[in-house]
Amino acid sequence: LDLYRATRDVHYRESARLAVKFLKTRFHRGRPGDSVYVLDFDGKAKLGANGLALVALAKQIELDPKMADRQGATRLAKLILAMQRADGSLVTRYRLQPDDPEGIESLYYPGEAMLGLVCLFKSNGDYRLLASARLGADFLIEAQRIMEVLPPDAWLMQALEALYNIGHEGKYAAHTIKLAETMIAEQYTLNDPPGYSGGFGPGPPRSTPAASRAEGLVSAYRIARSTGDARAPKIADALRACASFQLAQQFAGRINASLPNPHRATGGFFEGPSSMRIRIDFVQHNISSLLGEAEVLY
């Protein structure tokens, strides 16, 4: 859908329709009764799966309203609301059975869920969704504020930008840019080993961490630019470096020469300089972030 938004090529819209159709085969009725959860292939129902499914359905409402499933989006959101604690934190996993373990906390799930809620709010105007997203964002900001080093929470940055665009609360802008500064501090430069520049540490750079951080940096840059923040040029430079690194991890031209089936690999994004492995999320994060980088920089 991001590609359809950028190009208006109906082939991307049709592919998105097929993807959403498949996604909905993973929906199951939850508690409360008019809610649904997304069941992963590992038999678990994770907060992040509901959040990302909601982002997808909300984008379809915006960009392909004829085929949009508003009821499905509302039901996904209803389960997220039921998974929020009074302090704003969110349960990591929806328990299919009462004695199921809650699961290990994920850095990214809350931001994914909040972004989904805000995206749907922009479509249906249900203020319960906005209130829940704000409560969750406020909880995370306070929790992260006391950390020695802020985490690379790119999904939260995107959710905070969406919240900032609605109410223009300074706290959301400030935290987004602080997260960006922490990310940039871990970005490799031309002074690092060949092939590292634009990627992120610690350890060898990889395409997906670079791409996902770039998604958050795009949000930070838009906020910084719109508010006249002096850090906007620094964020823009980081994004340009990200884009260069990402493009170097795409199968194209000479890189394909040694492959047994070069045509099949063309366009895919591999893991990084030390691994030629391709995975669907490697490709998705790189496409989404490169579109964002192109929009804000060029």
Smallest Cα–Cα separation from 52: which of 106, 112, 92, 107? 112
pLDDT at residue number 96: 93
pLDDT at residue number 187: 99
Q: Based on the domain organization, do 126 and 30 belong to the same domain?
A: yes
Q: Based on the domain organization, do 88 and 214 belong to the same domain?
A: no
Q: Is 100 a residue whose pLDDT tops 90?
A: no
Choose the final residue of a domain: 136, 168, 191. Answer: 136
**Structure-token pair, residue 89:** 């934190």
266: domain range? 147-298
pLDDT at residue number 133: 99
Q: Based on the domain organization, do 281 and 155 belong to the same domain?
A: yes
207 assigned to some structural domain: yes
Q: Based on the domain organization, do 169 and 297 belong to the same domain?
A: yes
Quickly tell me which residue has 């340009």 as its tokens.
240
| Residue 287: burial class (beta carbons within 10 Å; 0-12, 13-18, 19+) | middle
142 assigned to some structural domain: no
254 assigned to some structural domain: yes
- Cα 278 to Cα 68, 121, 203, 245, 275: the distances in Å are 30, 34, 19, 16, 9
141 assigned to some structural domain: no
> What value does the mean pLDDT of the chain take?
96
Question: Under a CB-based contact definition with an 8 Å cutoff, are residues 195 and 154 in contact?
Answer: no
Q: Based on the domain organization, do 61 and 25 belong to the same domain?
A: yes
Q: How many CB atoms lie within 10 A of CB 79?
A: 23
Smallest Cα–Cα separation from 162: which of 109, 212, 222, 213? 222
Residue count (the chain):
298
Q: Is 17 a residue whose pLDDT tops 80?
A: yes
Give me the CATH number covering residue 51. Answer: 1.50.10.20
Q: Which helix (H) or strand (E) holds 37?
A: strand 36-38
Residues 249-256: what's their mean pLDDT? 82
| pLDDT tens digits along 176-225 | 999 999 999 999 999 999 999 999 999 999 999 999 999 999 999 999 99
Q: Is 282 a residue whose pLDDT tops 90?
A: yes
**Structure-token pair, residue 78:** 């209803």
Global pTM?
A: 0.95
Per-residue confidence band for 251, with pLDDT thresholds at 50, 70 and 90: very high
Choose the final residue of a domain: 136, 163, 195. Answer: 136
Q: Based on the domain organization, do 293 and 155 belong to the same domain?
A: yes
Total domain count for the chain?
Answer: 2
pLDDT at residue number 79: 98
Q: Which residues is 237 bridged to in the sheet?
A: none
Q: Based on the domain organization, do 197 and 51 belong to the same domain?
A: no
Choose the final residue of a domain: 114, 136, 158. Answer: 136
Q: Based on the domain organization, do 243 and 111 belong to the same domain?
A: no
pLDDT at residue number 98: 84
Q: Based on the domain organization, do 111 and 188 belong to the same domain?
A: no
Strand-pair category, 270-272 with 93-94? unpaired
Q: Is 112 a residue whose pLDDT tops 80?
A: yes
Q: Is 156 a residue whose pLDDT tops 80?
A: yes
Q: Based on the domain organization, do 206 and 292 belong to the same domain?
A: yes
Q: Based on the domain organization, do 152 and 293 belong to the same domain?
A: yes
Q: Based on the domain organization, do 154 and 225 belong to the same domain?
A: yes
117 assigned to some structural domain: yes
Per-residue confidence band for 104, with pLDDT thresholds at 50, 70 and 90: confident
| pLDDT tens digits along 21-33 | 999 999 999 988 8
